[in-house]
A and B are shown apart, each in its own frame.
Chain A
């Protein structure tokens, strides 16, 4: 893994075990950037409308990075409420987008409706001499189709 890859990989708890000798190898710039990058990736993916499972994975990675940053002493717990509030707002926006996308997928155009007469129109067809309800409906459909054609 290159230094660049490492820079863009969210930190995990398992990656940072702070002990006195290791603390010397901590690179605040690199680790801060990793935390910021995992936060940005989470926000970007949430607003891009990734699946719920993918977003949960991103959320877990971000939580892991935050926990690691706390352990490394790079992030004060004072920031926690703000981060929680941000994640809650992003989760809400993502859920709203997902729901809207799902409902929009059901939208039906008025021109896509099948052509069917109302029961009253069928009854009128029967009164006018159609032999059956199906025949009355077929006559109505043919007339509606012809009218639609002539209106073009």
Chain B
């Protein structure tokens, strides 16, 4: 290599440089395919719900089964919002994720949660699981009464057991909303 200094500047003779070894870029790793996640759902009496789930039910009864604009703030003030997922739908539209409970993020991962926020429940890559849960959501919304289930998720590296209290609303104009208060002590 020839280096010439002229007026305090270094000039490198490129031709004399050693050839740089070529860097072979490896392909980015292919993410593993999403597992087929299914659920076994066991209906539970509301009376055996966790404290957080029972408190959410009491708040729902306190609001006379309506969905006041203050409901999210009341849940946050009671420290319950992080336990809750929330989906809403315009009239005749699909239920869309607006909020995802911390426990659900722990179970299915931040990336899953990030891609699901703002998307319909049916677009979940764990489609089999999403369809099974959709039926429960519909029952809570149309029945107008809280639905309490024990759910076992299969298809993950290890089964996950959790419970959810589902509370649904329908506005006079046909909009729908669903709150799922999740309890998952194992994760």
Contacts and interface: CB of A to CB of B under 8 A. Distances in A.
B99 A114 contact: no
B98 A114 contact: no
Contacts of B51: none
Contacts of B172: 91-92, 95-96
B163 interface: no
A110 interface: yes
A118 interface: yes
B4 interface: no
Interface stretch (A9-17, A38-46, A77-85, A120-128): A120-128
Interface stretch (A22-30, A62-70, A98-106): A98-106
Contact of A108 (B35, B67, B73, B99): B99
Given A102-B177, A106-B88, 12 more contacts: A49-B69, A96-B171, A98-B69, A100-B175, A101-B69, A103-B98, A110-B117, A116-B105, A116-B110, A120-B35, A121-B109, A123-B157
Interface of B: 32, 35, 66-73, 84, 86, 88, 98-100, 102, 105-114, 117, 156-158, 160, 169, 171-173, 175, 177
Interface residues of A, number: 30
A147 interface: no
Interface string A106-120: 111010011111111
A105 B71 CA distance: 8
B109 A99 contact: no
A99 B98 contact: no
Nearest to A100: B175
A-B interface, 4 closest residue pairs, ranked by CB to CB distance from nearest: A118-B109, A105-B72, A101-B69, A99-B171
A52 interface: yes
Given A96-B173, A107-B98, A119 B114 contact: no
Interface hub of B69, B88, B158 (most chain A Cβ within 10 A): B69
A106 B67 CA distance: 11
Contact of B177 (A99, A116, A121): A99
A132 interface: no
A107 B72 CA distance: 9
